A and B are shown apart, each in its own frame.
Chain A
Amino acid sequence: MSKPSDLVQGTLDLLILKILALEPLHGWAISLRLKQVSGDVLQVSDGSLYPALHKLEQEGWITAEWKPSENNRRAKYYSLTRLGRKEFQKEAANWTRLSEAITQVVRLEEA
């Protein structure tokens, strides 16, 4: 069995977009939310979260803003742009299609 941190390529982007679609968050909160919602099955390493965030920002899908955080320190909050919302819908549909197809294959009864 492969390590749970071996995310399918592109999946991390989809997860981040989904989490940010709910509310704007800073990097640390996103990492907590990832662990929380995936029930520790998907472990995103702290390191790879930031390059992914920066990539999405450079694509224009999310945008960043510096705001005081819950412990009164300045933190970089990310939120979804209109483009990001469209991208999320596209990627989510893709993911559903792909996972359904794979599920069907896996469930094939042996003859």
Chain B
Amino acid sequence: MRPERWFYTVPLRLRSLFRRRQVEKELDEELQYHLERKTEEFLARGMMPEKAHFAALGAMEGLDQQKERCRDTRRVNPIEHFIQDFHCGLRMLAKSPGFTAVAVLTLALGIGANTAVFSIVNAVLLRPLPLPHGERVVSIQVTPMLADETTGPASPLQFCAWRAHNREFALLAAVRSLRGQVSGKECPEEILVLEDDYRTGAPRVCLISHRLWQRRYSEDRNIIGRVLNLDSKSTLIIGVLPPDFAFPDAEHDLWTVLHLNPEHQTERTLDVYGLLNSVFQLRMPRHGLLQSL
């Protein structure tokens, strides 16, 4: 039933929209024809020509009203009115360029600010961390009792104590970002290094970024097992990371083990991350491990 109706109605709607002039011309011609025949009728009854014309117009009850009523039946009037309003709006804007500029600028700034804020909210709050159990990963910061120290990284001493007494976290990890000097066969260069995976007596191994692999080692396929010199300590290359790997940001080129220097035990240099045993712990009051130290 429906498709058969569309067979008639769809071409009509399209015609009303895209052949508007033609449709209007035909409407005009149709009503004009009627008007002339009506006038002839009145003339035949012996009316004066001018009077007959007006009588015929009167019988139509307003030519323009009838045309408008015919247009209303086309069902595309809302679209046409929208297009007319749109054009009118454009003309008004063109008339007062100053106002237009201010309005456009306001909109641009508003949209820009919104986009910026949303990008941050999306990255920080909405998008889950690209890690298994990302919802359980937390960053741990130290808020000292003393007023002259700031909230931020932990010292090796604190981190080791947390590890020793930890019951709330499945894993605790500390990382430290620093500038390191790589040397070897190629000329020495300074890169951003991230140290993590703290264990006493861990072997000196490293992962390098895809970028460093391309730049320094010309995509050498036999890179694994080679030794580079990091701050004059031999370090074994055990892997190249994918191009899109970025932790904590895209500036870092080398990841190696964390070796804590006993002389700097109280310097607050470590960013600490933890994997909670359960995500529900986030809602509980946080005491125990962290407060006691």
Interface residues of chain A, those whose CB is within 8 Å of chain B, are 26-28, 31, 45-48, 50-51, 54-55, 57-60, 63, 66, 69, 73-76, 81-83
Contact = CB atoms under 8 A, between A and B. Distances in A.
Q: What interface size band does chain B fall in? A: 20 to 34
Given A46-B38, A60-B7, A83-B5, A51 B69 contact: yes
A45 B61 contact: yes
Contacts of B70: 50-51, 54
B51 interface: no
B31 interface: yes
Contacts of B34: 27-28, 31, 46, 50
Interface stretch (B71-79, B160-168, B221-229, B258-266): B71-79
A56 to B, nearest CB: 9
A58 B75 contact: yes
Contacts of A46: 34, 38, 59-61
Given A46-B61, A76-B29, 16 more contacts: A28-B33, A45-B61, A46-B34, A47-B61, A47-B62, A50-B70, A51-B70, A51-B73, A54-B73, A58-B74, A59-B5, A60-B9, A60-B12, A76-B30, A82-B4, A83-B4
Contacts of A76: 26, 29-30, 33
Contacts of B4: 60, 82-83
B12 A58 contact: yes
Nearest to A84: B8
Interface of B is mostly: helix
B133 interface: no
Contacts of B60: 46-47
A89 B120 CA distance: 66
Given A46-B59, A57-B12, A83-B4, A51 B66 contact: yes
Contacts of A66: 26
Contacts of B72: 51
Contact of B73 (A58, A60, A69): A58
Given A51-B73, A76-B26, A58 B61 contact: no
